Amino acid sequence: MREIVFDTETTGLDPAKGHRIVEIGAVEISNLIPTGRTFHFYLDPERDMPEEAFRVHGLSTAFLTGQKKFREIADSFLEFVADAQLVAHNAEFDMRFVNAELAALGRPAIEAERVVDTLAIARRRHPGAANSLDALCQRYGVDASRRDKHGALLDSYLLAEVYAELMGGRQSALVLQSAVTAEAEELGVDLLRGRPVPLAPRLSAEERAAHAKFITALAQEPIWRFYATPEPDAPAAEAALAARSA
């Protein structure tokens, strides 16, 4: 399932009072695993930056002046999102700003039914506990040491990990696969190509002969025989492959 985990930084708390988005970041995930595709822009809000907002994200008026405007990235944002489900922490806040920006451009709002609020999920799972993104990172062992200030793309990455935990945790098979891959890289083994030196066959000559006799007893030659690598001691299969390709 394709989903987009996203976050925004703004000049304030209420778009109805003229506040704007100054940063938007998004991470694409598939079945709770990041795909590597991201979307990220700093945005010129075309207004001043209040001191209280600057203290949260550290984005100054001087830095943002000359960055792209939301109207310049709206199409690419909607194209990136496409029909995916959106995931945000305290989603109502972010969606109010996104939909206000879209409304200013005459674009339709993104429906609330498409949005998952991880704050609401966390409150149901951990009633009475702190459920800020920082608190959830600490609870689930997600490394948030780089988060000295809020940042839309970094927070989206962190939220993607938290979201996976909220939905039941990372699949053990994927963790195992990562461990196997790391071990294979350490040993210099290319998993896509297989072993550098194939294992010696464990079938005896008698077993091979019995299997070959069984195959010849079939009413029709199995189709897989024409695609399998011929055994060195199976001239009949090699001859069949040659005849098939002639």
The residue annotated as part of the active site, out of 57, 126, 150, 211, is: 150
89 is catalytic: no
Look up residue 201 and give its two tokens. Answer: 């066959």
Q: In CATH, what number is assigned to the domain containing residue 54?
A: 3.30.420.10
**Residue 29 and residue 113 share a domain:** yes
**Residue 129 and residue 175 share a domain:** no
Q: At 205, give phi and psi (nearest 5°).
A: -60, -40
**Residue 128 and residue 10 share a domain:** yes
DSSP labels, the chain: -EEEEEEEEESSS-GGGT--EEEEEEEEEETTEEEEEEEEEEB--SS---HHHHHHH---HHHHTTSBPHHHHHHHHHHHHTTPEEEETTHHHHHHHHHHHHHHTTPPPPPGGGEEEHHHHHHHHSTTS--SHHHHHHHHT---TT-SS--HHHHHHHHHHHHHHHTT---HHHHHHHHHHHHHHHHT--TTT--SSPPPP---HHHHHHHHHHHHTSSS--GGGGTSPPPTT-HHHHHHHHHHH-
Each residue's pLDDT expressed in tens, for the chain with a length of 246 residues: 999 999 999 999 999 999 999 999 999 999 999 999 999 999 999 999 999 999 999 999 999 999 999 999 999 999 999 999 999 999 999 999 999 999 999 999 999 999 999 999 999 999 999 999 999 999 999 988 877 677 899 999 999 999 999 998 755 335 445 544 555 555 454 544 555 556 677 778 888 888 878 877 776 666 666 655 555 444 554 554 455 455
Q: Are the CB atoms for 66 and 44 separated by under 8 Å?
A: yes
**Residue 7 and residue 127 share a domain:** yes
**Residue 182 and residue 144 share a domain:** no
- The residue range of the domain holding 193 is 171-199
**Residue 120 and residue 8 share a domain:** yes
Q: Are the CB atoms for 3 and 85 separated by under 8 Å?
A: yes
Look up residue 151 and give its two tokens. Answer: 């940042």
Number of domains comprising the chain? 3
**Structure-derived torsion over alpha carbons of residues 29, 13, 140, 126, reported in degrees to the nearest 10:** -110
Q: Are the CB atoms for 159 and 87 separated by under 8 Å?
A: yes
**Residue 211 and residue 111 share a domain:** no
State pTM to two decimals: 0.68
